[in-house]
Amino acid sequence: MALTDLLRLLVLAYEYFATKILPRWRRLATGSIRPAGWLQTQMQLQASALTSHLPLFWDNVCSSGWQMLKSSGYGGPGAEHFMARRQRGSLDVSVLEDNVGGIHESTPYWLNGAVPLALQLQDEDLLQTVDKYIEGILDRQTQEGWLGPDTDKTDFWSRYPFLMAMVQYHEALPGGPRRKRIEEAALSFFSAMRRRLEGGVPLTVWSSFRTHDLIWTIHYFLDVLQESAEPSVLRDLAAFAALLHSQGFDWTGLWYNASSFAKEAVVNTSMQTHGVNNAQAVKSGVVWSRQSGNAPAGWAETWLAWEQLQRYHGQPNGAFSADEHLAGRMPSRGTELCVVVESMWSLALASQLAPGDEEAVLALDALESLAFNALPGSLSEDLWSHPYLQFANSYEAVSNEPDHIWGHDGGQSAMYGLAPNYECCTSNFHQGYPKFAGSLFFEDLGQQQLISAVWAPSVVNATVGRAHVELRTSYPFNSSVEYWIRNDEPFTLKVRIPKFLRTSTSTRFVRVDGHTVKAEETAGFLHLSIPAAAERLAVKIDFVLAPSVQRSEAQGVSVYFGPLLLALDLNEQWQLVQRYAFNAADWNTTAALTWRLAMPHSPRLGTPRLSMPGPRPMASSDCPVALEATLLAVPPSAWPIQHGAPGPVNGTCRAGEQVQRTLLAYGCTSIRISALPVAEEEPLIV
């Protein structure tokens, strides 16, 4: 490293230490926000399915290299499983070491979701399991400070999600020796990694392209250690973060702001065309802005990244297409499940670290769309299976498709199963709902504001106002939200208004304890003053939900109901392909109803049918939102199949007789048509 570069890093480190730059909004400690209503039901389904069962049977978690003792034996929760396999002679060392593609990410990925899920649900069994994993991994930290398997000296990346899990675990602990132990383990690891980098071990591939995940954890420990650590420790941490930033991939300069950025489906692939890398890169600008001190510039980088991805690869479900690599705007191209959950986390951080409300509300709009559409659209209704890729338009999801439209993944990528195509999503999807729940509220301590960022049923214990707030709603499946508030001190409740309600024609009513009040919207937020010592103060917001139609030159027509994308009900048929342990299985899913339908030039939509979410909130047979629509049949010649998938929907097509069909919430479907072609005004005579 050149002397000038080193001096610049030291200056940046000093600036951080001297100014103690804090985010505008504060994340509440993991567990302070608890899910309620349908969200709690959905997260309990997840906890009782794969999240709690992977440590019991799935080798990548139950026989992981993260649980190996230094010299002999095995010390993790799956010890009996391990010993039985060793006695049978069926133990594969490459599996034992969780060595998939040369990296050891499965257990850290799983912990990054299992930790917040256990804390938010207060699930005692899951809490005991994650306790054993984390304490066991810390027990096996080397004298050097290294955490986890060390089969490849350049595999820094696998530590990043584990450290994020440790942050969430640390947040929930009271002061004491366990909390102190995590701080010491993190500092020891940071020192070990820095020594390797300075000793010539390069920051390569995944570790370089995902650097800001680690920088975020460094900043967390800088914050919590401000009052207890020596100044030299803080300076070293800030200098280490600066070193990582300097060696990591320059996403803005070399990709998002460059002429080489992919503006259509990628053929020639690279690390910067990789979908999950892009989803994680979205946060890089705002994360680094904490240390650079330039929040507007950091936001500009983050939002440029998201806008580029949406403009050239955006899908109706709020995600961007990436069937391993960026794949353009055709609705039949896929999106990896990891892309969805990593995008959600990046957007949550973008909202928290944004320079102002005008910026934060944009990130929250995007987060809401992913959470209510793309995330449930990537998971089976019982949360025991998932596809590697989801599609805005598809009529089947079956195993071993030899002729498939996606460009860079295998034939099992569309199938719902335990670990279709590749193992990463099986371990990484667990963070989706818990981190979303943890982002429903933020705090602004300086302004004494509690920010209600996204509506979903939940309960929060806040620092501001010493408030206990219950958000009672079935949103996005109903048209009202109600805050029940108990607090000791006055504070401001700052409520984000969803994008579909921030229009001149939208209608909403705000009542405080039954009395209508006038609440002005500023930069997408309502501000409500909550007096001191309120007991069961009720703030209710009623609004109108109505279907809307959005047209796109590349993606035809999509129907929305509030924030929900609607999709054609295909009467899905599920056929078992292979069963694993417990309820884990692979499935073929096919359509029993025709999918070739077009939207009339003048859409004819019925009145939505709303119901309370049931024991499986995203079940297609019990979907909380259904809408009848008059559509037009399309002959195969007008909408042909392309490599086993619906062809493009851009432009208009000839159509025939009218057909009455049902549209469901996108998240309640596993295969679906959510982007329809527009019928020409003159009907086709058949």
DSSP codes of every residue in 63-127: T-GGGB-SSSSB-STTHHHHHHHHHHT---HHHHTT-BTTB--HHHHHHHHHHHHHHHHT-HHHH
Q: Is the pLDDT of residue 6 over 60?
A: no
Is 326 part of any domain? no
C-alpha torsion sign, points 621, 627, 632, 635: negative
- Position 88 scores a pLDDT of 47
- Alpha-carbon gap, residue 164 to 115, rounded angstroms: 10
- Strands 449-452 and 491-496: what pairing? parallel
Q: Which two tokens stand for residue 520?
A: 């002005």
Say whether 367 sits in a helix, a strand or coil. Answer: helix
- Position 216 scores a pLDDT of 98
- Position 18 scores a pLDDT of 45
pLDDT tens for each residue of 248-270:
999 999 999 989 899 999 999 99
540 & 571 share domain:
no
149 & 227 share domain:
yes
618 & 590 share domain:
yes
- Position 76 scores a pLDDT of 47
Q: What angle do CA 117, 123, 128 make, to 5 degrees?
A: 95
Is 204 part of any domain? yes
Average confidence (pLDDT) over 143-155? 94
CB 452 within 8 A of CB 507: no
Q: Is the pLDDT of residue 15 over 80?
A: no
Q: Is the pLDDT of residue 163 over 70?
A: yes
Q: Pick from 544, 567, 596: which residue ends a domain? A: 544
Q: Is the pLDDT of residue 484 over 70?
A: yes
pLDDT tens for each residue of 486-521:
999 999 999 999 999 998 777 889 999 989 998 888
Is 142 part of any domain? yes
Q: What angle do CA 273, 430, 589 make, to 5 degrees?
A: 80
The whole domain housing 223 covers 103-246
126 & 169 share domain:
yes
pLDDT tens for each residue of 554-593:
899 999 999 999 999 999 999 999 999 999 999 999 999 9
- Position 506 scores a pLDDT of 76
The total domain count for the chain is 3
Is 653 part of any domain? yes
How many of the other CB atoms lie within 10 Å of CB of 546?
15
- Alpha-carbon gap, residue 440 to 458, rounded angstroms: 8
User: HSE of 576 in the Cβ direction (CA atoms, 13 Å)?
Assistant: 6
Q: In what order do the strands lie in the sheet with 441-444?
A: 26-27, 441-444, 449-452, 491-496, 525-530, 521-522
137 & 213 share domain:
yes
Q: Which residue has the tokens 């969200």?
A: 39
Q: Pick from 491, 509, 544: which residue ends a domain? A: 544
- Position 11 scores a pLDDT of 56
Is 292 part of any domain? no
528 & 609 share domain:
no
Residue 510 CB-density burial (10 A; 0-12 exposed, 13-18 middle, 19+ buried):
middle
- Position 533 scores a pLDDT of 80
11: Cβ contacts below 8 Å, ≥ 6 apart: none
125 & 155 share domain:
yes
Is 59 part of any domain? no
Band of pLDDT at residue 20, cut at 50, 70 and 90: low
Q: Is the pLDDT of residue 209 over 60?
A: yes
Query: Residue 628 pairs with which residues in a beta bridge?
Result: 662
How many of the other CB atoms lie within 10 Å of CB of 445?
11
Average confidence (pLDDT) over 520-529? 93
572 & 632 share domain:
yes
Indicate the range of 231-245, 349-363, 526-540 predicted with least confidence: 526-540
665 & 555 share domain:
yes
CB 287 within 8 A of CB 241: no
552 & 664 share domain:
yes
Instruction: Give percent above pLDDT 90 in the chain.
Output: 83
Instruction: Give percent above pLDDT 70 in the chain.
Output: 91
- Position 534 scores a pLDDT of 72
513 & 564 share domain:
no
Mean per-residue pLDDT of the chain: 91
Q: Pick from 246, 271, 289: which residue ends a domain? A: 246
Is 599 part of any domain? yes
Q: Is the pLDDT of residue 71 over 60?
A: no
Average confidence (pLDDT) over 126-138? 97
Is 363 part of any domain? no
CA distances from 158 to 67, 163, 170, 213, 249 (A): 14, 9, 19, 11, 17
pLDDT tens for each residue of 625-661:
999 999 999 999 999 999 999 999 987 788 889 999 9
Bond into 476 cis (ω within 30): yes
CB 510 within 8 A of CB 526: yes
Domain CATH for 498: 2.60.40
Q: Which two tokens stand for residue 129?
A: 């399991």
Indicate the range of 94-108, 130-144, 419-433 predicted with least confidence: 94-108
536 & 581 share domain:
no
